[in-house]
Amino acid sequence: MTKRIGFIGLGIMGMPMAKNLLAAGYALTVFDIDKSRMEGLSKVRKASTSREVAAASDIIITMLPNSNHVKEAVLGKDGVIEGVQAGAILIDMSSIAPLASKEIAEALKKKNVEMLDAPVSGGEPKAVQGTLAIMVGGPDEVFEKVKPLLEVMGSSVTLVGEIGSGNMTKLANQIIVALNIAALSEAMVLATKAGVDPEKVFQAIRGGLAGSAVLDAKMPMILDGNFKPGFRIELHIKDLTNALDTAHALGVPIPLSGIVMEEMQALRADGKSSDDHGGLIQFYEALAKQKVRRTSKN
């Protein structure tokens, strides 16, 4: 299989993903609107536009913040669609609205270009480790062609359905993650306010039914008061916005998601939009006037 890969978007997630592809021996042509990010990669071809990336690549990966950014990079002026070759494959690994994925795929189909939507879960740590969960939507035969490439970046790579299904699965994932963080925040603030050591509560419950990957990943950060972003609150707001919009279009009530969305919006209004989404606990801490930290730091 070809090893000419294009990579557009070198942010918190995109950079380590691109580095893992380089380490696996793939030749990369990269582009980011922030030119300084490209300087963080050696042994790559640095493009000046998304169009240039597409012209030099058989497979193009996009890893961008939201639907409008992907549309601009793919369908806009100097976008992928202007330089892409017939027979190429676009893998959009961004988390965007499912309908946007379908719209982009339809436009590319006219150029004889296939597309997969393949959003990821796991945050920066798993992007660095190459152990992301990757949820893929698109044709089975296209998925099989690029599966080895995706397995360089993820330890779990699953085809879930037609184009748009990957992003629908990611929305489900983001609802569960958001509600998990809200639940652990509420519970830990309560326990700490009652005088119980939150670190001991964490150790006591993590092996039981309340245990989760979210609890294991976020609780140590909370105990240290470390809200350096692996996944920013503002990006989770974006995902919940897409979830709510999609749910409303389908006539599906998702009331708990709406509540957590407003909690995150409150933190954004308080200047915390760039905090890690585990920082949602700060909303509950402010209500109860009780921080959840290791005993030595309380």
Q: What is the DSSP string of 192-260?
A: HHTT--HHHHHHHHTTSTT--HHHHHHHHHHHTT----SSBHHHHHHHHHHHHHHHHHHT---HHHHHH
Asked if 36 and 155 sit in the same domain, the reply is: yes
According to the model, what pLDDT value does residue 296 have? 65
Q: Provide the residue range defining the domain that includes 88.
A: 4-162
Q: Which of 126, 170, 238, 272 is catalytic?
A: 170
Return d(Cα 220, Cα 99) in angstroms, integer.
Answer: 37
According to the model, what pLDDT value does residue 93 have? 98
| 170 is known as an active-site residue | yes
Last residue of a domain, one of 141, 162, 183: 162
Count of domains for the chain: 2
Convert the pLDDT of each residue in 206-262 to its tens digit: 999 999 999 999 999 999 999 999 889 999 999 999 999 999 999 999 999 999 999
Asked if 133 and 219 sit in the same domain, the reply is: no
Asked if 243 and 175 sit in the same domain, the reply is: yes
* CATH assignment of the domain containing 283: 1.10.1040.10
Tokens of 161: 């359905």
* CATH assignment of the domain containing 56: 3.40.50.720
Asked if 73 and 158 sit in the same domain, the reply is: yes
Last residue of a domain, one of 162, 180, 201: 162
Strand partners, 156: 133
**CB of 281 within 8 A of CB of 222?**
yes
Q: Give the residues of the chain that fall short of pLDDT 70.
A: 1-2, 296-298
Q: For the whole model, what pTM was predicted?
A: 0.90
